[in-house]
């Protein structure tokens, strides 16, 4: 809403500089977004929230000013004398759709002289950014900005048969609007028509044919109430917005129609020397129901936390033009003015009182009781994962959940079900909720490579969206990209499992997904038989220049399995003994089998086995490999003797030979 | 490692450190790695070791040999590169840069969410989450948003199907929590939200919000003011001023927008605060009785307040970031700054 500082003074007396006025209005909830000096005036741009269409006119703003600073509201004079002819002899009006047009008023002003408006009026319009046209058009604009009620002036001589009908358009009907564009109408739209064709799109814009010009003699002044929903839809369908549609969409005052019409007619008499025809056509199917609300004064304290006396409260309401019907004990009965359609309940009155009392005058203090709040297991686990990875040099990234429909993005890592598509995407190419995280990480790696950072370590923790019953299943996943090989990334996964207190190292099976992973260098990992995720070296198809490995895990499963209870294990006072070994074994035997085989022996003072490396070369027969590792022994109650360790090592070697055909490697 | 091998290693390291010419290094190489060198001598002793220790012993000799070879290689390369003759004593240059191990960072959005969570945890707020793909009921109906409200159109909300959408605000979590739990309630709910805004420096179709909700007997507007005051002082600093302005949200009544004094110009007026000295950081208000009705709470008995803020917005304010797209480009040069 654009206002002029000088113009506003016509309705409210105040001694405030433009900046002071702006502060008052902002504190009352009418945010002043801009103040600009304009000649001998000031222009203010005010943001009006959607619940306050009553402030889309200068009088509405003035009402707020008087509520804030006191004083009374001065409404303009609307008294005039009429000519001898009654309107009923000059025009016939009918409303075919009273639901969409609950009130339609018409006045006729005859024998006007169309000429430029007086300077004072032109100045005010110019201040709020409107271009003066002629006195008649200017008056309709002026009164709209004054009252918030849009009006339209037709050249009555150009309305054939002098008949006006408010009706639905028929499909394909056409109208050329004032701005010169031809519009094709549709049966859902409401129009103001003559006996044959539309002369205005109701509430939005008038037609070119009946536009007021210098030759206009008689004016048909329309002042009506159109349904907000109807105006909003038509405005959207036609792609036209106007100061008029803006106000109708938000809802105008059903009872304010008459005042605005009289005000405009009077100005036309005064400024265009017109003669106002007797009577008014006022077709209405609805009356604004008078709303009576009771305010319990003590409820003010309950909601606002501050004591506001009854007379202070009723004074505020009176200044906002509520009528106080009764005021007794704890109660104030008020009648809501018709222009405040946003006020229905006691809580709405409380807000009005709080607003004018001043939010910043309400104390900042609390008596809420103390309460401890701890982290959930979910929070702890997520923090733990982030801490681990950032400590290891990984940057956390965040990427969009809405992705393209490429085959990479549509991989079914986590579900076989169909992807979830958005019905109204911003761009047709990006219309899908992601089903896995890795593709976005791959894109981020490429993005950084374009800026010269080839080797990146990144991760993201976010949700993927998998089709479910009513709502999708939103699974939280972790995805990692690193600049190292399979085993380095596997090491990080092991570390994460340890930090989350998960004793398992996962069950590993080979996995094939050529879009992501290099053949034979990828695995699917399970945790107690449930899929934990996927890990592998990047496929050649991804065209990375350096060694890259990828990982994607089910965080929900990780968190479910996590265990953060820690118990101290007594540290042995006795030294541990480590023996390094190298065995030659069939190529097909996996490390996990060797490890398991040794563990199964159940040597009482056996602490663990540590893998060193695998060697294949000249000294090793074809089809076999040398596997080097160390065995660690320790007792809690004594220092181990060399002989007992020797025996244990020999037992391990014997068992490995027996079960896996392993031989000690001789050098 | 056996003692003899350790001795050899010590000697070798001493000698290689005093090597000055390519000729010296060649001699060292012959001494240790030559056909009749020290390592070779050790190799010959392997068969004399007891059988069960042989493998380990051999392995250790091999490791040592690899280590020596690599060190000799390094020094040879360095000497053949450096044409400048060495002075008697090498300068140990303490002004050379240190060797930094890589350190990753949490995304700035995560950092802000963590900061907000921590500030509110100290005031007794738990963290709650809700789905991002939501029923229209939770995003609109239960929040007292009328059926013809413009925010429901597909210009303002992403739809999956008729009554299923991508949540446009984290206020949805309020309803889900109140449906499950009776008062007292004290939660914050961070998360992703979606609105079909064309992406530019100030808009993103996906961003993060944190919603807060406190419901109990005897909760009033003064409590809302103080809780937010505490948060603002914690997050933005002790000297920051706070201002409440009346506003409108369908799910709160009275509703407010909260501004803080502009930290760039300390309230004097600059381009960041549009020369007003204030910047808006959050929306808040007392929970509307209609919302309580939707979750079957007694609005006479209980009162409460709710608030919501944009995570990107407060992060941008705090660090002076002027383009929201930076958060989702994930340029390492950006991420490493926080
Ligand atoms: Zn500033």
Asked if residue A61 lies in contact with residue A46, where contact means CB atoms within 8 angstroms, the answer is yes
pLDDT of B92: 86
Strand partners, B133: B166
**A398 to B110: CB separation less than 8 angstroms, yes or no:** yes
User: First vs last Cα of chain A: how many Å apart?
Assistant: 92
- The residue-averaged pLDDT of B63-84 equals 80
pLDDT of A667: 60
- Identify the top-confidence range among A300-304, A428-432, B154-158: A300-304
pLDDT of B25: 86
* Residue B42: pLDDT band with limits 50, 70, 90: confident
SS3 (DSSP) at A428: coil
Tell me which of A120-124, A229-233, B58-62 is least confident: B58-62
Which positions in chain B touch A229 (Cβ < 8 Å)?
148
Tell me which of A58-62, A606-610, B234-238, B263-267 is least confident: B263-267
CATH superfamily of A577-664: Ferrodoxin-fold anticodon-binding domain (3.30.70.380)
Cα angle A489, A492, A493 (rounded to 5 degrees) comes to 90
Angle between helices B108-121 and B221-236 (to 10 degrees): 130
DSSP letters, A139-169, are HHHHHHHHHS---EEEEGGGSGGGEEEEEEP
- The residue-averaged pLDDT of A393-413 equals 94
The CATH classification number of A2-69 equals: 3.30.56.10
A368, A455, A642: which to substitute to probe chain B, counting the most B Cβ within 10 Å? A368
Cα–ligand 1 centroid distance for B319 (angstroms): 14
**B133 to A471: CB separation less than 8 angstroms, yes or no:** yes
Q: Does the fold of domain A377-561 match that of domain A2-69?
A: no
Which positions in chain B touch A360 (Cβ < 8 Å)?
243-244
β strands within B53-177, DSSP E: 126-127, 133-135, 159-161, 164-166
- The residue-averaged pLDDT of B267-296 equals 92
| Residue spans per domain, chain A | 2-69, 87-284, 291-356, 377-561, 577-664
**Neighbour order of strands in the sheet with A31-38:** A2-4, A41-47, A31-38
How many other C-beta atoms are found inside a 10 Å radius of the C-beta of residue A402?
21
Asked if residue B214 lies in contact with residue B304, where contact means CB atoms within 8 angstroms, the answer is yes
* Residue B267 or residue A241, greater confidence: A241
DSSP letters, A217-242, are --EEEEEEE--HHHHHHHHHHHT---
pLDDT of A125: 96
- The residue-averaged pLDDT of B247-259 equals 96
| pTM for this entry | 0.86
Which positions in chain B touch A444 (Cβ < 8 Å)?
330
Q: Would you say domain A291-356 falls under CATH 3.30.56.10?
A: yes
Pairing of strands B206-216, B303-310: antiparallel
**Local structure of residue A421 (DSSP, 8 states):** B
**A470 to B164: CB separation less than 8 angstroms, yes or no:** yes
| ipTM surpassing 0.95 | no
Of B133, B186, B255, the CB nearest to A465: B133
pLDDT of A299: 97
Look at residue B233 and tell me whether its pLDDT is greater than 70: yes
Nearest CA among A307, A312, A292, A319 for reference residue A63: A319
Q: Which fold has domain A87-284?
A: Phenylalanyl-tRNA Synthetase; Chain B, domain 3 (3.50.40)
Residues 6+ apart with CB under 8 A from B14: none
* Residue B280: pLDDT band with limits 50, 70, 90: very high
pLDDT of B85: 57
Asked if residue A634 lies in contact with residue A607, where contact means CB atoms within 8 angstroms, the answer is yes
pLDDT in tens, A70-98: 888 999 999 999 998 899 899 999 999 99
Q: A232 and chain B: CB distance < 8 Å anywhere?
A: yes
Torsion of CA A362, A368, A370, A376, to 10 degrees: -100
**B247 to A582: CB separation less than 8 angstroms, yes or no:** no
Cα gap A311→B108, rounded to integer Å? 51
Of B129, B220, B247, the CB nearest to A49: B247
Cα gap A481→A542, rounded to integer Å? 13
pLDDT of B157: 96
Nearest CA among B107, B60, B148 for reference residue A667: B60
**A370 to B328: CB separation less than 8 angstroms, yes or no:** no
pLDDT in tens, A404-463: 999 899 899 999 999 999 999 999 889 999 999 999 999 999 999 999 998 999 999 999
CATH superfamily of A377-561: Bira Bifunctional Protein; Domain 2 (3.30.930.10)
Cα gap A661→A631, rounded to integer Å? 19
Q: What are phi and psi of A278, to 5 degrees?
A: -70, 150
pLDDT in tens, A543-568: 999 999 999 999 999 999 999 999 99
> From the CA of A441, how many Å to the nearest CA of chain B?
10
Asked if residue A30 lies in contact with residue A64, where contact means CB atoms within 8 angstroms, the answer is yes
Q: How many Cβ pairs within 8 Å bridge chains A and B?
A: 241
* Residue B53: pLDDT band with limits 50, 70, 90: confident
* Residue B84: pLDDT band with limits 50, 70, 90: low
Using CA coordinates, name the residue in chain B closest to A232. Answer: B150
Cα gap A522→A517, rounded to integer Å? 6
A398, A468, A619, A652: which to substitute to probe chain B, counting the most B Cβ within 10 Å? A398
Using CA coordinates, name the residue in chain A closest to B336. Answer: A395
Cα gap B65→B46, rounded to integer Å? 14
Look at residue B13 and tell me whether its pLDDT is greater than 70: yes
**A301 to B220: CB separation less than 8 angstroms, yes or no:** yes
> From the CA of B314, how many Å to the nearest CA of chain A?
17
Cα gap A219→A111, rounded to integer Å? 8
pLDDT of B48: 81
Cα–ligand 1 centroid distance for B261 (angstroms): 8
pLDDT in tens, A260-279: 999 999 999 999 999 999 99
């Amino acid at each position: 809403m654009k206002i002029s500082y000088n113009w506003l003074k016509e309705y409210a007396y105040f001694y405030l500089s433009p900046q002071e006025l702006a502060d008052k209005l902002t504190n009352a909830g009418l945010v002043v977004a801009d103040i600009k000096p304009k000649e001998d005036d000031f222009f203010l741009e005010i943001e009006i929230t959607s619940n306050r269409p009553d402030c889309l006119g200068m009088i509405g703003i003035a009402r707020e000013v008087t509520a804030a600073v006191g004083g009374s509201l001065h409404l303009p004079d609307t008294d005039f004398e009429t000519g001898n002819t009654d309107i009923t002899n000059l025009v016939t009006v009918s409303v075919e759709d009273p639901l969409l047009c609950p009130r339609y008023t018409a006045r006729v002003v005859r024998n006007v002289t169309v000429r430029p408006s007086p300077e004072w009026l032109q100045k005010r319009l110019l201040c709020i950014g409107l271009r003066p046209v002629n006195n008649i058009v200017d008056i309709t604009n002026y009164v709209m900005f004054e009252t918030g009620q849009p009006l339209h002036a037709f050249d009555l001589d150009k309305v054939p048969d002098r008949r006006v009908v408010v009706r639905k358009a028929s499909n394909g009907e056409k109208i050329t609007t004032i701005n010169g564009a031809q519009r094709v109408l549709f049966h859902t739209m409401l129009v103001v028509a003559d006996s044959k064709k539309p002369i205005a799109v109701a509430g939005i814009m008038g037609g070119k044919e009946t536009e007021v010009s210098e030759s206009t003699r008689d004016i048909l002044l329309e002042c009506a109430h159109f349904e907000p929903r109807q105006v909003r839809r038509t405005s959207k369908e036609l792609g036209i917005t106007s100061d008029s549609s803006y106000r109708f969409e938000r809802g105008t005052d059903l009872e304010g129609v008459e005042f605005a019409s009289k005000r405009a007619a009077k100005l036309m008499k005064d400024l265009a020397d017109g003669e106002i025809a007797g009577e008014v056509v006022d077709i209405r199917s609805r009356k604004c129901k008078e709303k009576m609300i009771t305010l319990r004064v003590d409820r003010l304290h309950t909601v606002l936390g501050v004591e506001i006396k009854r007379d202070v409260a009723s004074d505020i309401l009176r200044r906002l033009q509520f009528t106080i019907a009764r005021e007794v004990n704890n109660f104030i009965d008020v009648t809501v003015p018709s222009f405040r359609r946003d006020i229905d309940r006691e809580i709405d009155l409380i807000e009005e009182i709080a607003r004018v009392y001043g939010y910043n005058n309400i104390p900042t203090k609390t008596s809420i009781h103390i309460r401890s709040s701890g982290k959930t297991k979910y929070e702890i686990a997520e923090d733990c994962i982030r801490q681990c990875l950032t400590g290891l040099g990984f940057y956390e990234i965040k990427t969009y959940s809405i992705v393209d429909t490429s085959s990479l993005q549509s991989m079914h890592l986590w579900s076989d079900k169909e992807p979830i598509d958005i019905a109204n995407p911003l761009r047709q190419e990006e219309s899908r909720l992601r089903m896995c995280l890795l593709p976005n990480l791959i894109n981020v790696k490429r993005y950084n490579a374009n800026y010269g950072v080839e080797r990146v370590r990144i991760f993201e923790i976010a949700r993927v969206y998998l089709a479910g019953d009513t709502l999708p299943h939103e699974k939280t996943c972790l995805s990692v990209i690193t600049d190292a090989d399979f085993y380095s990334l596997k090491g990080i996964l092991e570390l994460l499992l340890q930090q989350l207190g998960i004793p398992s190292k996962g069950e590993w099976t080979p996995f094939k997904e050529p879009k992501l992973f290099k053949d034979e260098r990828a695995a699917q990992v399970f945790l107690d038989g449930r899929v934990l995720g996927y890990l592998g070296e990047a496929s050649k198809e991804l065209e990375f220049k350096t060694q890259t490995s990828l990982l994607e895990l089910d965080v929900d499963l990780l968190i479910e399995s996590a265990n953060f209870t820690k118990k101290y294990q007594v540290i042995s006072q006795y030294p541990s003994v480590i023996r390094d070994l190298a065995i030659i074994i069939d190529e097909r035997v996996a490390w996990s089998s060797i490890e398991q085989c040794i563990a199964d022996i159940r040597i009482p003072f056996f602490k663990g086995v540590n893998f060193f490396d695998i060697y294949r070369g000249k000294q090793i027969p074809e089809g076999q490999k040398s596997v080097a590792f160390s065995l660690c022994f320790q007792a809690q109650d004594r220092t181990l003797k060399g002989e007992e360790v020797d025996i244990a090592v020999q037992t391990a070697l014997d068992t490995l030979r027996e079960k896996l055909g392993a031989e000690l490697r001789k050098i | 490692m056996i003692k003899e091998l350790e001795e050899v290693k010590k000697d070798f390291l001493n000698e290689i450190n005093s090597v000055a010419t390519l000729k010296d290094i060649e001699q060292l190489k012959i001494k240790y790695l030559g056909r009749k060198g020290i390592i070779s001598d050790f190799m010959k002793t392997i068969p004399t070791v007891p059988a069960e220790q042989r493998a380990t012993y051999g392995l250790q000799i091999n490791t040592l040999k690899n280590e020596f070879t690599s060190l000799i290689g390094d020094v040879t390369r360095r000497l053949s590169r450096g044409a400048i003759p060495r002075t008697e004593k090498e300068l140990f240059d303490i002004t050379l840069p240190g060797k930094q191990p890589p350190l990753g960072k949490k995304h700035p959005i995560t950092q802000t969410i963590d900061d907000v969570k921590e500030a509110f945890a100290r005031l007794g707020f738990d963290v709650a989450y809700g789905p991002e793909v939501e029923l229209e009921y939770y995003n609109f109906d239960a929040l007292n948003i009328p059926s013809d409200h413009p925010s429901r159109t597909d210009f303002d909300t992403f739809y999956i199907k008729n009554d299923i959408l991508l949540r446009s605000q984290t206020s949805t979590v309020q309803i889900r929590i109140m449906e499950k739990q009776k008062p007292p309630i004290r939660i914050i709910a961070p998360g992703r939200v979606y609105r079909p805004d064309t992406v530019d420096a100030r808009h993103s179709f996906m961003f993060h919000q944190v919603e807060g909700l406190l419901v109990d007997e005897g909760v009033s507007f003064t409590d809302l003011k103080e809780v937010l005051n505490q948060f603002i002082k914690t997050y933005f600093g002790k000297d920051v001023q706070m201002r409440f302005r009346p506003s409108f949200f369908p799910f709160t009544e009275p509703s407010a927008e909260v501004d803080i004094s502009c930290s760039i110009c300390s309230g004097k007026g600059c381009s960041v605060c549009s020369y007003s000295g204030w910047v808006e950081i959050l929306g808040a208000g007392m929970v509307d009785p209609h919302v309580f009705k939707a979750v079957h709470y007694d609005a006479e008995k209980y009162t409460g307040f709710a608030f919501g803020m944009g995570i990107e917005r407060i992060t941008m304010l705090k660090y002076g970031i002027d383009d929201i797209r930076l958060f989702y480009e994930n340029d390492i040069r950006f991420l490493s700054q926080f």
